[in-house]
Chains A and B, each alone.
Chain A
Amino acid sequence: MLNKIYDWVDERLDITPLWRDIADHEVPEHVNPAHHFSAFVYCFGGLTFFVTVIQILSGMFLTMYYVPDIKNAWESVYYLQNEVAFGVIVRGMHHWGASLVIVMMFLHTLRVFFQGAYKKPRELNWVVGVLIFFVMLGLGFTGYLLPWDMKALFATKVGIEIAASTPLIGHELKVLLAGHPDIVGAQTLTRFFAIHVFFLPAALLGLMGAHFLMIRKQGISGPL
């Protein structure tokens, strides 16, 4: 049955070459932990992607309950945490995933750095990877405000004050983030929500697409 569906689609769209391009490539011995245990260091990038997928999925479920407004944000998180079935697990995965993704990404960065894998011809992929790192930090910063509890508000106030101390564009940057020259409030919350849920994930997906395209095009760096 599945084969027939596949054949039907393939006859019309010729998806086999596409599928072979995506799925079929060689994995050299030196990156395969089954042959050299020390090759587990090559798992960090894949695990970063794995946690990112979990972050996207758990985040999608969180937005089913979360309300980005200062009257209801905390209430909705409290409800999600204490009343919703498995809400504590979904929120817990998103909370811990945010830390794990930073840890895994840091380890992946160190692996690439110490192996000198960023050298010619892989400079561009390294630059894109560092941009992904910044986007992840941005996601961590904006996501921290969303529960609208004490630590969220005050950490964000500090963060916005630091942004405001930027030379030349400090004030504009602060207003852009907070939505108001003085108040960290309703506008800030909706802006951070939009940045956390739409802007940064869009940037992240684009950058990750470029990251994976480049690694497939160039192949993984050879053994040291």
Chain B
Amino acid sequence: MHRGKGMKFVGDSRVPAERKPNIPKDYSEYPGKTEAFWPNFLLKEWMVGAVFLIGYLCLTIAHPSPLERVADPTDTGYLPLPDWYFLFLYQLLKYTYASGPYNIIGAFIIPGLAFGALMLAPFIDRGPKRRPTQRPFATGFMLLSIASIIFLTWESVVAVDWEAKEAMGKIVEEAEIDTSSDGFVVYEENGCINCHGDNLAGGSAAPSLVGTGLTAEEVADIAKNGVGKMPPGMYKGNDEDLAKLSEFISTLEAK
């Protein structure tokens, strides 16, 4: 490279006018079968990435991400659980000497020692030896930690009734139904209840009547003339009751 006096620059910049050729280094002199990262090795890495991506996308399509019902801070019966990778820390807090008055042990001292040791591993395990068998303490403590994480996660998972948990979080659209109201009485007497159900949430034969967004007039029209799979003439009562019924249904909102 040309240095010092006589150096030419691009315009008034500090960029040298002399261009360097853009050719990769020759790695054939390196030990073993060393190869260039770009583009040879990157292509292989990308193929590994592509296979990984296919698995990832299959997982995404097979199991859509879960969404439970909207957060309700007043529901005290709900069983709280963190995401799976925090379960071992959560489980630790359930043991007698790691919870309650000893909370500080389970929440800070044990995880702090474990993660602190992990972070400071290079300063604790200082010998020049690298093979796992030559470092029995490092290897031993790490295997012990992995075993503890697996054990705690397992204990935490088997303690949960996952079906009950799923039912607790399920999205349900339901309304506060006043079964003594005039509208509900008409609903019951006219047999609407047979298809639309006693909580008006619908079923296999009919849709839910909760939060339809329809006006009372539209509901009355459907009750008389039907819609979709519902045949006309399902409502057989008088117009006065129909007004009560349609008013009742059009005002149902999910709670």
Indicate if A66 sits at the interface (CB-CB under 8 A): no
- Whether A148 touches B71, Cβ cut-off 8 Å, given contacts A46-B49, A162-B93, is yes
Indicate if A115 sits at the interface (CB-CB under 8 A): yes
Task: Give the segment of A153-161, A194-202, A205-213 that binds chain B.
Answer: A153-161
Interface contact A77-B60, CB-CB below 8 Å? no
- Whether A20 touches B49, Cβ cut-off 8 Å, given contacts A30-B32, A147-B67, A165-B104, is no
Q: In the assembly, what is the distance between CA of A144 and CA of B129, in Å?
A: 41
Nearest Cβ in chain B — how far from A56, in angstroms?
15
Interface contact B44-A33, CB-CB below 8 Å? yes
B61 is contacted by which of A23, A92, A123, A137 (Cβ under 8 Å)? A92
Q: Which residues of A contact B75 (CB under 8 A)?
A: 150
Q: Which residues of B contact A17 (CB under 8 A)?
A: 20
Interface contact B33-A24, CB-CB below 8 Å? no
| Cβ contacts B27-56/A at 8 Å (1 or 0 each) | 100111111111011001100110011001
Number of A-B contacts (CB under 8 A): 224
The interface size bin for chain B is 35 or more
- Whether A96 touches B123, Cβ cut-off 8 Å, given contacts A28-B34, A77-B67, A116-B132, is no
Nearest Cβ in chain B — how far from A77, in angstroms?
6
Interface contact A116-B130, CB-CB below 8 Å? yes
Interface contact A93-B56, CB-CB below 8 Å? yes
Interface contact A115-B130, CB-CB below 8 Å? yes
B68 is contacted by which of A102, A114, A130, A149 (Cβ under 8 Å)? A149
Q: Which residues of B contact A152 (CB under 8 A)?
A: 68, 71
B121 is contacted by which of A46, A50, A88, A118 (Cβ under 8 Å)? A118
Indicate if B118 sits at the interface (CB-CB under 8 A): yes
- Whether A12 touches B71, Cβ cut-off 8 Å, given contacts A27-B36, A114-B132, A159-B82, is no
Nearest Cβ in chain B — how far from A96, in angstroms?
5
Q: Which residues of B contact A159 (CB under 8 A)?
A: 82
Q: In the assembly, what is the distance between CA of A13 and CA of B10, in Å?
A: 9
- Whether A34 touches B49, Cβ cut-off 8 Å, given contacts A27-B37, A28-B34, is no
Q: Which residues of B contact A34 (CB under 8 A)?
A: 44
CB<8 Å pairs between A and B, sample of 10: A91-B65, A96-B63, A119-B128, A126-B121, A130-B118, A147-B67, A150-B71, A150-B169, A162-B107, A165-B103
For the complex with contacts A92-B60, A96-B60, 19 further pairs of A-B residues with Cβ separation under 8 Å are: A13-B15, A26-B34, A27-B34, A27-B37, A50-B53, A74-B71, A96-B56, A97-B56, A110-B142, A123-B123, A130-B115, A148-B70, A148-B71, A149-B70, A150-B68, A150-B71, A153-B71, A155-B82, A165-B103
